[in-house]
Structure 1
């Protein structure tokens, strides 16, 4: 239903072709990912590499990118969890998006996330590279779809033909 709602909004129609989430964001996974993402237990990401590789092998793309963190959030955490997922799965990513600093998404309600201002820009000079290309975005958690769709919209507006995404979990 979530995807249908997004597609019914003319502002977001056709922005994200599909999202595949590997797991349901249940209490166990929530705690597991919190240890990885917020407490720096980086090695935990290795548990997902095989499943991620398998799902990505089913998707056609020209480039893989990840949802970036703001410089402030990257400094705070020490690593980008989406980039860690990709790296540990042996994937080569292109840094196509940059993110301005904003309030943590995890602190916002569903409606606040949906209504949040757009925080992404396409990295300068990437427009020619992504023109008419298919791009796969990797992120850790799909909660409302706002983050992925904001990033996808920027890439689409910069000339990308199609954007799909894959996330570890669906909240």
Structure 2
């Protein structure tokens, strides 16, 4: 068994505590797992930004933008650091689909902890890539993350092709026009799924469209809080 992140062999020390759990495969070694930093402690209740404030200044800004105040809250799993940056670069930009399995258990546990209040009819809606970007990468990482969740997912959103968000400044991201269009209406709660929350603009654009087409409540669940 080898670590998906570093390719080193995973050697499991057998103890009485783990004797009956050996049949469960481990996707990541202890050293790589130690480099991933879970979001803990104080966080903004709206966007998961690390802060001691109840609502951060970014979210207060969005609350003043009525048309874009479309998400109940975002919940993120990891802090953005060098280790997760390295793993995500290999996973997302080098087409290493299997590497996404590193995040399966983390994502599943975090979702069950924070979104236990949702009923079984709720839907996960992954943030789509444009057709051109999907062909370039080979897969959409948000679709894979949505598959880790205990609720059904629906690919009801599509995306126009445009410049990568990572190449834009913060203000350019905030000023971006809505890049999405929707294929059908949804009249139940939705959890938008994406790999990273940076300014929140992309998620809010998607939520805006969903709410315009009958969705009563939109939440967001992201792997990383940038």
2:160, 2:180 within 8 Å by CA — same for their partners in 1? yes
In 2, Cα distance between equivalents of 1:152 and 1:89: 19
Which residue number corresponds to residue 66 of structure 2?
A: 10
Going from structure 1 to structure 2, the CA distance change for 1:153 and 1:64 (only over 3 Å counts) comes to: same
Does the residue aligned with 1:40 lie in a helix, a strand or coil?
coil
Query: How many pairs align?
Result: 165
Q: What TM-score, normalized by structure 2, do the two folds share?
A: 0.69
1:168 is displaced (CA, Å) by: 0.4
Larger Rg: 2
For the aligned residues, what is the CA RMSD?
1.4
Equivalent residue for 1:78, pick from 108, 125, 138:
138
Which residue number corresponds to residue 180 of structure 2?
A: 120
Equivalent residue for 1:150, pick from 181, 184, 205:
205
The answer to which structure, 1 or 2, has the higher relative contact order (CA under 8 A, 6+ apart) is: 1
Higher strand share: 1
Higher helix share: 1
Matches within 5 A, 1:8-87: 8-13=64-69, 15-57=70-112, 58-59=114-115, 60=118, 62-87=122-147
Runs of 4+ in 1 over 3 A off after TM superposition: 88-92
Q: What TM-score, normalized by structure 1, do the two folds share?
A: 0.91
Runs (5+) with no aligned partner, structure 2:
1-55
Alignment partner of 1:164 is 2:224: no
Does the residue aligned with 1:46 lie in a helix, a strand or coil?
helix
